[in-house]
Every structure is written in structure tokens, then in C-alpha cells.
Structure 1
Amino acid sequence: MTLQTIADRVGVSRMTVSNAFSRPDQLSPELRRRILDTAQDLGYAGPDPTARALAKGTTGTIGVLLTDSLRYAFTDLVAGGFLGAIAEELAPTGLAITLLSSASAGELIPARDVAMDGALVYSCDPTSPAVGWLQRRRLPLVFVDQAPVDGYACVNVADRRGAREAARLLLDLGHTRIAYATVGAHGPYGLIADHDVPTEGYASIQRRLGWNDELRPAGITPTVIRQPFERVDLIRADARELLSRPDRPTAVLCFSDVTALGVRQAAGDLGLRVPEDLSLVGFDDSPLATQVQPALTTIRQDVEEKGRKAAALLNAALRHSGETPHLLLPADLVVRGSTGPAPS
């Protein structure tokens, strides 16, 4: 079965049939439908994607480089909202999305070996070899939740400013025993001192800097609960240990709303009331924030806007616009029922 077979059946040129598959804007909707219907009747599925990519010099695919675990993209509400917004923004372009782990799998290194036209680098370790491979391939890139990189567009959230607002709220409520609950891709884990937390992950660093901006001048040295992404059960266990101490904190600043859930569960295990005995502040304002009771005080970031902006910037880079803006989206305090005055 060839394009010419279909062309003969419809009574058009071979190029017209080719355009029906690869350049639909060149045909009227009625003619394109006739051609596609004829192709279907004849059992023709369309030009071979590999051959078409070689002819065009493009793959029609963009990559999204994530952390070592791709599971995060399917289980985390914030990552899911971000990726959904990217898909929606790119839908009119016809571009497909490929999720890339920053880890290698035997001989396969996704960032080096997977065919793509460009990529979004999302919340990855900047020293990861995967980031270096994408740069060496000279692909159009947009960095998201990463330290700004010269020569590339990037999208970040005002994490540090938002974290300062969260810490200031707790100080204004009279809290002096404050802990952090955060996450990371690599250890150490458990209950650790703030100065032992590794400098890993742009958002994590910025949020901890914001908390410290307020707490250090107030003479407060926090204890840190730190566990891998997605391990709410481990955060819960650590928080239970921390909250069992005689000098337990009266408030906890959390890296995310999901992290706050782990601490909230630990408080419930110990019979502690929120906010009467323990105040909690999350980050993200994900759907989870209003599903728990009392509703969670948190820092709101517009995850969907972040995804739309990132996709639009990458689309522009694919068109070789030459623009490399550095966007900073707002992060705003949303006060709800999980915070209250420090207990006497």
C-alpha cells in the first residue's frame, strides 16, 4: 500500500495525500477527510513515523527530565498538575511528551539516547549527568524549579519570599520552638540539624533559606525532619519521634502540603490537636490543603500557570525565537485553620 494507491482512488496527486497526513493546514477539511477515510478503507495507517522524522529532521516529541524516580510524576499532585498543564498547552502543536528519568538504566541514558526536539528540565539536581547530556546535545531547553542558567529560559516560583512569609506568620503567632519537615533525593535522612541538610534541589534550598531569613535573626535553631520524596510514612515516623520529646516544637514549616500531611498524621497519633498544640504550614496549596481538617495554612503557587509558561517558552525555543526570559511566579501565603497562637 502506497500514497499513490490512495491518490489514484481519490483522484488527487500523491503530494496532496502526503499533505493530508503531514500538513493538514494545506487542505480543506472535506478533502482531508475523504483522503483519510479512503486510507482507512484500504488499510493504510499513514507514513512510517521514523521515516517521517528523518525526512523532517524533527521527532515531534519533547522530553521532560524529572528526578531519578518517574513514579513521582504519577503520584505527586503538584507534579501531576504541572505535567497536565504542559500537555494542555502543547496539545494544539501536536507535540508528544516523553518523561525522562535522570538516572541511567544499564546502557541506556535517556537524556543522551532518547530522540526529542527539546526538553523541560524540572526540579532536577543541576549536577546530574542527565542535565549535562541535554546541554551537550544543544537541544532547546527550559529550566523549571532550577537555578537560572545563562542562555536558557527558566521558570521559577518566589519560593524564598513565600517561605519568609510562612516563617513570619509563626513568629507573629508567638512560636519559638519551630521545626522543618523537608525532602530530598539523597541522604542523610531522619532528624538532623539544619546545618547538616545537604544543598540539594533548588526549591528545597530556596524554601529553607526563606525560613532561615526569619528564624535565625530571632535566635531560633530548628530541628529538621528529612526523608525521600513520596515517603509520607517516614516523615510521619520521624515527626512522631520529634513530637514525643519534652521540648517538642509547637510549629512545623513543611516543604509541601504532602509533607505536612505526614506531620499532621503523627500529631493525631499522639493525641496532639492542630492548631491548639501544633501549628502547621505547608507549601503549594495543592488540593490536599483543603481536604484535611482543619484546612492547611500554606504558600500558594500556581502550578498550572507554571506548566503553561514553561511549555510556551519551550515552544518558542523550538521556533528559534532567541529569547531566554527568566520568569519568577508569585508565592503567596494562604492562612487557614492549621495555624494558631503558640500554646502557653
Structure 2
Amino acid sequence: MARRQATRHSTITDVADAAGVSIKTVSRVFNDEPNVRPLTRDRVLKAAADLDYHPNVAARSLAGRRSFLIGLAYENPSPNYVVDLQRGALERLHGERYRLLVLPFDDASAASGKMQAIARASGLDGMVLAPPLCDDPATVAELEACGLPYARIAPTSGGSHAPDVAMDDREAARAVVDHLVGLGHTRIGVVRGDPSHASAGARLEGYHAGLAAHGLAADPALEVQGAYTFVSGYEAGRALLALPDRPTAIFASNDDMAAGVINAAYEAGVSVPDQLSVVGFDDSNIASVVWPRLTTIHQPIRDMAREATSALLSLIDHEETVPHQMLPFQLVIRGSTGPVPA
């Protein structure tokens, strides 16, 4: 059998020859060094693209004492949320010299106060903190003290000089209640989010504010604890639908739990939306997969991750950043909500 010939990868010498410059000039271009004429830089980059040449990140980090690694730290039980989070960060890093190191934690409290050690062990140049780590006082204080550049996604607490990108969870939850009351619902249940996430408290506040704005009293019997997981939403849905005077609508604090509620309704023989309206939060992939498709709050998770990563790159490069960015939410009305049953 003939031996398979190894594919030859382009080298920095190939790029230099194709661009008609020295190897040192190519190195200067990829290290963003000054004193390279724009036309020369363009010629080198075009030659690299034509040859599908990619510089060795490890070698460049040794030469410049930088790792070109950005950390993305999070703890979230929703796989749909996590996918959008990573996509947003990767979109911003596309075409950049930096690479993304994903740092998932099963329990954010276990990482509290240890982010500096994790960053040093990984050789990170900076870090993006997603909920709930972005609100952890020990983590924020530690990063502030050690001077590692970082940015935060959707924080609800202060005490940080880092740039952050967020949306208004409280107002979004109020918009959900407005929508349901507009359909005639007055008995609205809620599945609360994971209490370790600040967003859960903000969304519950918005739910209460929405009820009060329409003259409706909050009923503790209609509030069930969830954990931002499908299973917790399913269990909460079963509990709410077992009530003697069950709700005609349920607001779940994320899409995974809303999908669990729909599953519980199906098993109980309760038709959605004819007998029960269900609303989620996030507008993640699962919102368009379940049937009926979920009415939900579109949270710009991918956009927030992309903008936070962009702010972090600016910090690392000592450029000006916008301290706080508030991105808009949108109520997306689909087939899981309808008029209150007669």
C-alpha cells in the first residue's frame, strides 16, 4: 500500500517569499509592531491569506511574553445559554490573534476567590466573567487587586471598575406580565430561577412589579422554585398544575424551564395555549424547537458576550472602553400564549 503523503503547511518563509519581504517584516506584521508601511502590511496579509498561513500562537506568546488567551468563565445549567455565550465571544475573536479558553464551573462558589490562581495557571491575558461569577464579590475583588484585565456580562452588582454589558431583566419580566394580562390572564404563576444567579431575583422583581402595576396581588402559592434546568421546570409545572385553582398562565424564568412546563402540561392533558399560556426567557434554541414554539424574551446573549469580549480586548490594548452598555430586549410572541380560557 502506498504511504500517504503528509500535507505540507505554509511557513513564514513562504509568506515572505510571496510578499517579497523579509521574514522579519512578516513577523512584525503579525505582532502588530510599528514602522511597517500600510501597503507592505496589506501585501503580507494577502500573501498569508492566499497561502492559508496561520502564525504559531504559542511561539508568539513566548516571544512577546503574552499567551494571547482570553478566558470565558461561567456557571450555567442551561446548555442553550452557554452555546450563545461562547458563540458571541468567538465571533469577536474571529480574525484576531487571541484564542478563547472556556472555563466552565459546576459550582461558581467553588471558584470564588480562586480566579487569580486559575488565570495564572492558564496564562490568561484577560478574562470575561459571565453570571453568576460576574457578581461574586470575592472574584471581583481579587481581579481588581491583581490587575488582570476583565469584563463582565450581565452583572447586577457594583464594586468593579471593569466594563460590563447587560440588559434590563426586571423590565423584561414586567413586559411578560403586561403581555399575559393583555390576553386576559389574572392568575399567573412563576417558576423562579436559580437563586445563586442575580438574574433570578431581578426577574422575580419584574414579575411582582408587573402584577402590582395591574392591581394584581402576588400569590405565594403561584411561585415555585426552579434551577434554570428542564427538569426543575417540569417539576414546577407539575406542582402548579396540581393546584385546586391552577394558573391560566405560567412565566418560567428561562426557556429550559418553560419547555419543562410545557412537557408537564402535555402529561396532565392541559392544552397549550388553549388552557394554559407559557412564557420563557432568553430566546435560546430550545424556544423554537418545542411545540408550540415559545413566547419568550429575546435576551441578546450572543451580542452581550461579543461586546464584553470586545471591551476586554480594548482594555488589554490600553484603549478607551465604554464603561457600561445596556442592550435592548424584545418580547417575541409565538404559539405558546393565547387568550385566557373562557
TM-score, structure 1 as length reference: 0.77
Sort the Cα spacing of 1:313 and 1:285 in 2 relative to 1 into closer, same or farther, 3 A: same
Q: Does residue 156 in structure 1 map to residue 166 in structure 2?
A: yes
Partner of 2:93: 90
Please tell me the residue identity of whatever aligns with 2:218: I
Q: Does residue 209 in structure 1 map to residue 214 in structure 2?
A: no
Return the alpha-carbon distance in structure 1 between the equivalents of residues 258 and 314 of structure 2: 37
Return the alpha-carbon distance in structure 2 between the equivalents of residues 262 and 314 of structure 1: 36
Please tell me the residue identity of whatever aligns with 2:101: T
> SS in structure 2 opposite 1:166?
helix
Kept after mapping to 2: 8 A contact 1:178/1:250: yes
Kept after mapping to 1: 8 A contact 2:191/2:236: no
Sort the Cα spacing of 1:251 and 1:89 in 2 relative to 1 into closer, same or farther, 3 A: same
Please tell me the residue identity of whatever aligns with 2:182: D
2:339 pairs with one of 333, 338, 341: 341
Return the alpha-carbon distance in structure 1 between the equivalents of residues 280 and 188 of structure 2: 14
Return the alpha-carbon distance in structure 1 between the equivalents of residues 334 and 56 of structure 2: 56
Please tell me the residue identity of whatever aligns with 1:226: Q
Unaligned stretches of 5+ in structure 2?
Answer: 1-12
Give, in angstroms, the shift of residue 253 of structure 1.
0.7
1:172 pairs with one of 149, 172, 182: 182
Give, in angstroms, the shift of residue 111 of structure 1.
4.5
Sort the Cα spacing of 1:21 and 1:304 in 2 relative to 1 into closer, same or farther, 3 A: closer
Return the alpha-carbon distance in structure 1 between the equivalents of residues 156 and 45 of structure 2: 46
Percent pairwise identity: 30
User: When the two structures are aligned, how many residues end up with a matched partner?
Assistant: 312
1:270 pairs with one of 259, 268, 271: 268
Q: Does residue 144 in structure 1 map to residue 147 in structure 2?
A: no
Return the alpha-carbon distance in structure 2 between the equivalents of residues 259 and 169 of structure 1: 19
Return the alpha-carbon distance in structure 1 between the equivalents of residues 125 and 280 of structure 2: 36
1:57 pairs with one of 65, 77, 85: 65
Partner of 1:127: 136
Please tell me the residue identity of whatever aligns with 2:261: V
> SS in structure 1 opposite 2:208?
helix
Kept after mapping to 2: 8 A contact 1:182/1:225: yes
Sort the Cα spacing of 1:221 and 1:54 in 2 relative to 1 into closer, same or farther, 3 A: same
Return the alpha-carbon distance in structure 2 between the equivalents of residues 343 and 294 of structure 1: 17
Kept after mapping to 1: 8 A contact 2:273/2:338: yes
Return the alpha-carbon distance in structure 1 between the equivalents of residues 308 and 237 of structure 2: 35
- Aligned residues: CA RMSD: 3.6
Task: Decide which moves more: 300-309 or 247-256.
Answer: 300-309
Q: Does residue 116 in structure 1 map to residue 124 in structure 2?
A: yes
Q: Deviations over 1:212-234 (max 9, x none)?
A: 101144113243332334x3123
Give, in angstroms, the shift of residue 89 of structure 1.
1.2
> SS in structure 2 opposite 1:338?
coil
Q: Deviations over 1:91-116 (max 9, x none)?
A: 222211112234349x9952464321
Q: Deviations over 1:21-45 (max 9, x none)?
A: 756995678879999xxxx9xxxx9
Please tell me the residue identity of whatever aligns with 2:226: Q
Return the alpha-carbon distance in structure 2 between the equivalents of residues 14 and 275 of structure 1: 66
Give, in angstroms, the shift of residue 146 of structure 1.
0.8
TM-score, structure 2 as length reference: 0.77
Return the alpha-carbon distance in structure 1 between the equivalents of residues 56 and 85 of structure 2: 32
Please tell me the residue identity of whatever aligns with 1:306: M
Kept after mapping to 2: 8 A contact 1:64/1:122: yes
Kept after mapping to 2: 8 A contact 1:165/1:333: yes
Return the alpha-carbon distance in structure 1 between the equivalents of residues 137 and 171 of structure 2: 27
1:77 pairs with one of 74, 80, 92: 80
Task: Decide which moves more: 94-103 or 246-255.
Answer: 94-103
Return the alpha-carbon distance in structure 1 between the equivalents of residues 339 and 130 of structure 2: 37
Partner of 1:244: 242
